[in-house]
Amino acid sequence: MEKFTTHTGIGVPLRQSNVDTDQIIPAVYLKRITRTGFEDALFSAWRKDPSFILNQEPFNVGSVLVAGPDFGTGSSREHAVWALKDYGFRAVLSSRFADIFRGNSGKQGLLAAQVAQDDIELIWKTLENAPGTEVTVDLASKTVTCGNVVAPFEIDDYTRWRLLEGLDDIGLTLQHEEDITAYEATRPSFKPLTLPARTS
Amino acid sequence: MAKTLAEKVWDAHVVRKGDGEGANAQPDLLYIDLHLVHEVTSPQAFEGLRLAGRKLRRPDLTIATEDHNTPTLDIDKPIADLTSRTQIQTLRNNCEEFGVRLHSLGDAEQGIVHVVGPQLGLTQPGMTVVCGDSHTSTHGAFGALAMGIGTSEVEHVMATQTLSLKPFKTMAINVEGTLRPGVTAKDIILAVIAKIGTGGGQGYVLEYRGAAIRALSMDARMTICNMSIEAGARAGMVAPDETTYAYMSGRPHAPQGAEWDAAVDYWNTLRTDEDAVFDVEVDLDANTLEPFVTWGTNPGQGVSLSAKVPSPEDFGDENAKAAAERALQYMGLAAGTPMKEIRVDTVFLGSCTNSRIEDLRAAADIVRGREKDPKVRMLVVPGSARVRLEAEAEGLDKVFKDFGAEWRFAGCSMCLGMNPDQLEPGERCASTSNRNFEGRQGKGGRTHLVSPVVAAATAVRGTLSSPSDLDPAPASAALTTDAA
């Protein structure tokens, strides 16, 4: 995974709560079997509306999305994270993230930074008053800076460390393969196996 | 120390205890007992294994089925949509290459992944179950810790049969009392989500408790646990009991003989200890609950069916007010309209929330001997090929067809419209599925989430209706019942 230390880019105010993963990427785009190339799919329904924020300059080249509470609710589709990244976003700021979305972000190097709603409101105002204002997200100090606004953000320590180091999750776990094998030896025999297949 | 059900299941699966506090402290590594796979969220994970030269660690704890893309008509013909066909063919190739058991379209065990696992007896109390699908929470109905995961985690489980998981908090949802006739599990969970909100469960595992939950069948408990994710929860659970064991007994992969006895002894320990403390408790009174329905574009935007469409002014919070305004506009609804005056174009009975045999029976009992509103289209999509066969053996297909509904093959279908079953722009649907998001059932489509019996009553009247709104069915209806 790519390292994430700090990022500065144009902030995009998305004044909306409950931005669900069906909005981030509609199901029709989930038929693809690749992990990249989803930039056209991001917010595809909303992007048909000329007044949508990503259809306005300079927000169309933004890389820090500043959203309302409960971002990423709904489906477990990691495609939502891929689409945000493919479009060019490196960080999403929200006061509340859906758990699965937050987890998926951490695996893919998209920073999901939890910022208090009061601070989100201040950042929204700054970005709306001066479109094109850059937002700096610093993972080492866990702060976000936008104009005069400097706010702390939360992220769990383990995800932060993996992002800072750019570490692959599977590789880390496989360091403990002996523990996995030892655990498997203790599993009760009544637990089901899918093979050989039994059917009604 | 006293533990909740969720904590007991968690503790029984810790492969490696986490490092505790600290900047790079790894969280607990948990063993995964069952990994369910489908065509949409797996191709990139299989590809990841291939690129890294890794093996699938436990094919014998993995099972796949085709559900999201599959057509519900003409299943004997090649899938018309080429990208859907490619995705399904990719699953077939991957399963063959990695040795995964697959139930393909046309197989008697094919169907929605969350219907297939339980019906095969693969979902059992005390297990950890994951799938690249948020509605994996369904399996919590058995007292399993069941979670939806993203594709990176799917690959992680394929490679290691484990997951590193952040600790969760526990929330008790206490539902005491007795449901009135016409009020169902779906109404309980819609009311819970309206109460705690779509983010209310974030970071929590919910345990549904109380007399009203104990009285529910397994199919109904699955409906409730299924929608835990709609409240933002990591998982939802119900402690196993005699109802659970009766459901499991005799299923293809249920333990047998002495193994069954050993399993039941263990399952009997899977109860929250009396002196265990939940981080949060929420109470809901089943006695006063009415059929529940959503009016907006997230599952928390729901009211009693007898209520009116709320006004944005009813919401104190500015974000909720703005969300309500936007939702009313999208849904084409005016504040103050009685919910029961809302006309629908389509009724969808299906999805991993409500497509099991009892859901079909309950809806069939409403429509039997009645006539469908001629302007309404009704789709009945069984959750699995097995459910479809069971329903046909009971004559339910005939009941639905006589009523004027379309009787389809199994799959996710119009819940998310990845196959041709979609709403047209502006079309309004009473749906037994789980999400009323903008465009979820088709671009511009408008969704009202309802229970199977409300869906059936709505198909009769053409407006959102509860069974108690219906005129008595003609006496001859009783005759068709005998066939069942």
Inform me whether the C-beta atom of residue A190 falls under 8 Å from chain B C-beta atoms. yes
- pLDDT per residue over B430-447, tens digit each? 999 999 999 999 999 999
- Computed over every residue of chain B, the mean pLDDT equals 96
Where along chain B do its domains lie?
5-169+213-226+236-265, 291-468
Nearest-by-CA chain A residue for B422: A28
Inform me whether the C-beta atom of residue A14 falls under 8 Å from chain B C-beta atoms. no
Chain B residues within an 8 Å CB radius of A117: 319
Q: Give the residue-averaged pLDDT of B97-119.
A: 97
Contact call for B34 and A199, based on CB within 8 A = no
Inform me whether the C-beta atom of residue B78 falls under 8 Å from chain A C-beta atoms. no
Which member of A100, A158, A180 has the closest CB to residue B25? A158
- pLDDT per residue over B10-45, tens digit each? 999 999 998 877 777 889 999 999 999 999 999 999
Chain B residues within an 8 Å CB radius of A187: 31, 33
Contact call for A30 and B68, based on CB within 8 A = yes
Inform me whether the C-beta atom of residue B12 falls under 8 Å from chain A C-beta atoms. no
What the block records as the tokens of B247 is 């459901």
Which member of A74, A170, A172 has the closest CB to residue B134? A74
Cβ neighbors of B163 (< 8 A, separation 6 or more) are B29, B30, B32, B130, B149, B153, B156, B157
Chain B residues within an 8 Å CB radius of A169: 152, 156, 164
Q: Which CATH class is domain A6-185?
A: alpha beta
Secondary structure (H, E, C), B300-366: CCEEECCCECCCHHHCCCHHHHHHHHHHHHHHCCCCCCEHHHCECCEEEECCCCCCCHHHHHHHHHH
Chain B residues within an 8 Å CB radius of A75: 133-134, 435
- In this prediction, residue B157 carries a pLDDT of 98
A158: closest CA of chain B, how far (Å): 5
Of A169-173, B141-145, B290-294, B374-378, the one with minimum mean pLDDT is A169-173
- pLDDT per residue over B159-188, tens digit each? 999 999 988 999 999 999 999 999 999 999
- pLDDT per residue over B219-267, tens digit each? 999 999 999 999 999 999 999 999 999 999 999 999 999 999 999 999 9
CATH of B291-468, one of 1.25.40.10, 3.40.50.880, 3.40.50.300, 3.30.499.10: 3.30.499.10
Inform me whether the C-beta atom of residue A88 falls under 8 Å from chain B C-beta atoms. no
Secondary structure (H, E, C), chain B: CCCCHHHHHHHCCEEECCCCCCCCCCCEEEECCEEEECCCCCHHHHHHHHHHCCCCCCHHHEEEECCCCCCCCCCCCCCCCHHHHHHHHHHHHHHHHHCCEEECCCCCCCECHHHHHHHCCCCCCCCEEEECCHHHHHHHHHCCEEEECCHHHHHHHHHHCEEEECCCEEEEEEEECCCCCCCCHHHHHHHHHHHHCCCCCECEEEEEECHHHHCCCHHHHHHHHHHHHHHCECEEECCCCHHHHHHHCCCCCCCCCHHHHHHHHHHCCCCCCCCCCCCEEEEEECCCCCCEEECCCCCCCEEECCCECCCHHHCCCHHHHHHHHHHHHHHCCCCCCEHHHCECCEEEECCCCCCCHHHHHHHHHHHCCCCCCCCCEEEECCCEHHHHHHHHHCCHHHHHHHHCCEECCCCCHHHCCCCCCCCCCCCEEEECCCCCCCCCCCCCCEEEECCHHHHHHHHHHCECCCHHHCCCCCCCHHHHHHCC
- In this prediction, residue B475 carries a pLDDT of 63
Per cent of chain B over pLDDT 70 is: 98
Q: Which CATH class is domain B5-169+213-226+236-265?
A: alpha beta
B180: closest CA of chain A, how far (Å): 30
- In this prediction, residue B326 carries a pLDDT of 97
- What is the DSSP pairing of strand B62-65 with strand B162-165? unpaired
Nearest-by-CA chain B residue for A108: B152
Contact call for B160 and A27, based on CB within 8 A = no
Inform me whether the C-beta atom of residue B320 falls under 8 Å from chain A C-beta atoms. yes
Chain A residues within an 8 Å CB radius of B435: 20, 22, 74-75
- In this prediction, residue A104 carries a pLDDT of 97
Contact call for B386 and A200, based on CB within 8 A = yes
The answer to whether the annotation marks B415 as part of a ligand binding site is yes
Q: Quote the pTM value.
A: 0.96
Contact call for B199 and A161, based on CB within 8 A = no
Contact call for B61 and A99, based on CB within 8 A = no
Q: Give the residue-averaged pLDDT of B412-421.
A: 96
- Write b or e for each residue in B224-250: b if 16 or more Cβ atoms lie within 10 A of its Cβ, otherwise e: bbbbbbbbbbbbbbbbbbebbbebbee
pLDDT averaged per 10 residues, chain A (length 200): 93 97 96 95 97 98 98 97 98 97 96 98 98 98 98 95 92 96 97 94
Nearest-by-CA chain B residue for A103: B150
A8: closest CA of chain B, how far (Å): 24
Inform me whether the C-beta atom of residue A107 falls under 8 Å from chain B C-beta atoms. yes
- In this prediction, residue B167 carries a pLDDT of 87
d(CA B448, CA B435): 9
Inform me whether the C-beta atom of residue A1 falls under 8 Å from chain B C-beta atoms. no
d(CA B410, CA B38): 14
- pLDDT per residue over B347-356, tens digit each? 999 999 999 9
- In this prediction, residue B476 carries a pLDDT of 54
d(CA B467, CA B227): 23
User: B319 pLDDT band (50/70/90 cuts)?
Assistant: confident
- In this prediction, residue B478 carries a pLDDT of 47
Does B375 have pLDDT greater than 80? yes
- In this prediction, residue B481 carries a pLDDT of 42
Inform me whether the C-beta atom of residue A17 falls under 8 Å from chain B C-beta atoms. yes
The answer to whether the annotation marks B225 as part of a ligand binding site is no
Most A-contacting residue of B157, B319, B413 (CB-CB within 10 A), to test interface? B319
B332: closest CA of chain A, how far (Å): 17
Q: Confirm whether B5-169+213-226+236-265 and B291-468 share one CATH topology.
A: yes
- In this prediction, residue B444 carries a pLDDT of 96
Nearest-by-CA chain B residue for A69: B319
Cβ-based neighbour number of residue B261 at 10 Å: 12
User: B317 pLDDT band (50/70/90 cuts)?
Assistant: confident
**B 222-251 near A (Cβ less than 8 A):** 229-230, 232, 234, 251
